[in-house]
Chains A and B, each alone.
Chain A
């Protein structure tokens, strides 16, 4: 079955420390993967997608087909990065499967 797994419910790091939010997927086809973020009192919004190979707010994510992973990384965490992060997989043309989310807390 198609699945997105985010093993950590909560991740706490100190400001300036590296961050890695884990995402593993199970998908029989060629995956299209995304990271969405929800800051406090804001709407859920797209952070980045693997196909764009972009860096947004210092975050990057590399698709590793061998390990079926799409981990989100940032070398130096900032307090404003504190938020809920969701990994998502597009299944087919229209459907999306989201993980259970990881709450990132960046401590001063």
Chain B
């Protein structure tokens, strides 16, 4: 069966430090991959999605970037974190023949 992992689960970082959040999917090939940020009162905001290795679509211009170095690996990065980057980051995957997104457990990022 398919599973999706995210790590770390929680992260506290100082302003100006770099960021790397990782998401991996098992049990499926060529998934569509997504990064969302979940903030209180703002719902889920789509940050990036990818339909294949090296293919990244950015939805919100900001301090973050994403990469997909392998078929089932999706990485969210930043060179210098801002206070406003704090939030709960969710990774999700979707199969090519389905419309259902499957979400990971999320990463709680606090920037101090």
Contact = CB atoms under 8 A, between A and B. Distances in A.
B43 A100 contact: yes
A17 interface: no
A20 interface: no
Contacts of A57: none
Contact of A43 (B41, B99, B105): B105
A97 B59 CA distance: 11
The size bracket of the interface on A is: 20 to 34
Interface string B5-34: 000000000000000000000000000101
A98 interface: yes
B99 A99 contact: no
Contacts of B92: 44
Instruction: Name the prevailing secondary structure of the A interface residues.
Output: strand
A43 B103 contact: yes
A25 B66 CA distance: 28
A94 B30 CA distance: 14
B83 interface: no
A9 B57 contact: no
Interface in B63-107: 90, 92, 99-106
A11 interface: no
A95 B43 contact: no
B99 A9 contact: no
Contact of A96 (B41, B46, B57, B102): B46
B103 A95 contact: no
Contact of B43 (A32, A49, A51, A98): A98
Complex A-B, nearest 10 residue pairs according to Cβ-Cβ distance, in ascending order: A98-B44, A100-B43, A44-B103, A98-B43, A46-B100, A43-B103, A101-B43, A99-B43, A94-B49, A94-B32
